[in-house]
């Protein structure tokens, strides 16, 4: 035994920020069961819960150099897993909506698939254009949220701004996009916003 099991959380975090693999292994050993229990309780699926837990620990490793804990490591990991579960459920819901849209597209009679493709393409071009017109910080926050699927907390930590500021940037971006998009949205895409 390496003696890492005797280290305090603060000592483990200090060693982790110094790229100590053994410290990371000890943190994983100490907290895996607790983090898994939180994920499993919320997802009720063992494979999904394990995937979320792996994401949380991978994220911890990636952030080891910038980790600045205000509370205990247990609190940090519990909060992180809750955010990951929410993101995971959101993506799962969105994928379900896309499947519903694809099924609806197959059932709607008289839909011109070429026209649908052109409308979607035009919408995408307009969306990309208007996103690029956003102020730099607003555009960066919006892309991190929508393209990288980062939570408000993750964006706030990475950009060293408050979560309220992140929320304000996203709200502003959505308002600008809603006001500027002039394309007619195909009926199939409208199902996504139900």
pLDDT band at 178 (very low <50, low <70, confident <90, very high): confident
Q: Which of 61, 75, 79 is nearest to 16 (CA)?
A: 61
Q: For the structural domain made of 111-194, what CATH number should be given?
A: 1.10.10.10
pLDDT cut 70: percent of the chain above it: 76
Alpha-carbon distances of 167 from 20, 28, 35, rounded to whole Å: 35, 32, 27
Domain extents in the chain: 1-107, 111-194
Least confident residue range of 10-19, 55-64, 108-117, 164-173: 108-117
Q: Per residue in 105-162, pLDDT tens?
A: 555 444 455 555 556 667 677 778 888 888 999 889 988 887 777 888 899 999 999 9
Q: For the structural domain made of 1-107, what CATH number should be given?
A: 1.10.1740.10
The SS3 call for residue 7 is coil
Q: What is the per-residue burial (b if ≥16 Cβ within 10 Å, else e) of 80-90?
A: bbbbbbebbee
Q: Per residue in 3-30, pLDDT tens?
A: 888 988 889 989 999 999 999 999 999 9
Report d(CA 100, CA 98) in Å as an integer.
5
């Amino acid at each position: 035994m390496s003696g890492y099991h005797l280290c305090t959380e603060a000592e483990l975090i200090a060693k982790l920020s110094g790229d100590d693999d053994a410290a990371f292994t000890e943190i994983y050993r100490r907290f895996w069961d607790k983090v898994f229990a939180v994920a499993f309780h919320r997802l009720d699926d063992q494979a999904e819960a394990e995937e979320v837990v792996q994401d949380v620990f991978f994220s911890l490793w990636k952030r080891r150099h910038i980790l600045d804990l205000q509370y205990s490591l247990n609190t940090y990991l519990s909060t992180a897993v809750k955010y990951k579960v929410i993101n995971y459920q959101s993506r799962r819901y969105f994928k379900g909506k896309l499947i519903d849209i694809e099924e609806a597209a197959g059932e709607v009679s008289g839909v011109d698939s070429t026209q649908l493709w052109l409308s979607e393409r035009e919408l995408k071009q307009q969306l990309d254009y208007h996103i690029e017109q956003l102020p730099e910080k607003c555009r960066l926050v919006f892309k991190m949220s929508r393209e990288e699927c980062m939570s408000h907390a993750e964006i706030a930590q990475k950009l060293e701004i408050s979560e309220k500021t992140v929320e304000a940037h996203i709200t502003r971006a959505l308002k600008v996009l809603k006001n500027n998009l002039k394309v007619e949205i195909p009926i199939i895409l409208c199902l996504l916003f139900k």
